[in-house]
Amino acid sequence: MRLIILIGLLLLSSQSLATVYRWVDDTGKVHYSDEPKNNAEVVDLNENTQNNMTINTPTKINTTPTTETKINYKISIISPREDTTIRDNNGAFTVSVSASPQLPRGVLFTLLVDGVTTASPQVSNEFQLTGINRGQHSIVVNAVTQSGKVLASSSPRKIFLHQASVFGPAKKPK
């Protein structure tokens, strides 16, 4: 059985070394075949017609991981100033913030008063607050991505809010 397979393989390999013929038809189109045709010429296949491919191995492969440059953003509360006393019966005041360098598009500011988010995230760097109770408060502003990641935080700012009356605006004398 092995002998029959071996003879069959030898016969097939001898056919793979067939002669190649080239001819041009009436329209000028060039044809190649392993069967001879009228006006066909034998094509001599030398070593230069075979496809050879060499693989150049790199001399040095860079295996050090690339490090991304992390930008350090700085958030500063411009107003109110540290230890400022704000006198407003409605508990209203404005918080202004600056950021450097300029924040990327889509980053929002959030304001925390005494550790509680007081205003919804916004693009504007100014917060208008109302209804804040009297007393001492700590203000922090965060720069937050839309996914909720905090890029930068301001240092806490301590302020004091005074109101003439706990129950409402001061009454005018009669």
> For tokens 């958030």, what's the residue?
75
Closest CA to 158 of 79, 77, 84: 84
Looking at residue 63, its pLDDT comes to 61
Closest CA to 22 of 11, 14, 33, 12: 33
d(CA 40, CA 31): 9
What does CATH list as the number for 74-162?
2.60.40.10
Looking at residue 106, its pLDDT comes to 87
Residue 173: asked if its preceding bond is cis (omega within 30°), the reply is no
> Which amino acid is present at 113?
V
Looking at residue 105, its pLDDT comes to 87
Q: Is 38 exposed, middle or buried (0-12, 13-18, 19+ CB in 10 A)?
A: exposed
Looking at residue 18, its pLDDT comes to 65
Looking at residue 140, its pLDDT comes to 94
Q: Is 127 exposed, middle or buried (0-12, 13-18, 19+ CB in 10 A)?
A: buried
Q: What is the mean pLDDT of the chain?
A: 81
Write out residues in the chain with pLDDT < 70, as ranges: 11-18, 45-51, 59-68, 165-174
pTM more than 0.85: no
Q: What are phi and psi of 9, to 5 degrees?
A: -65, -40
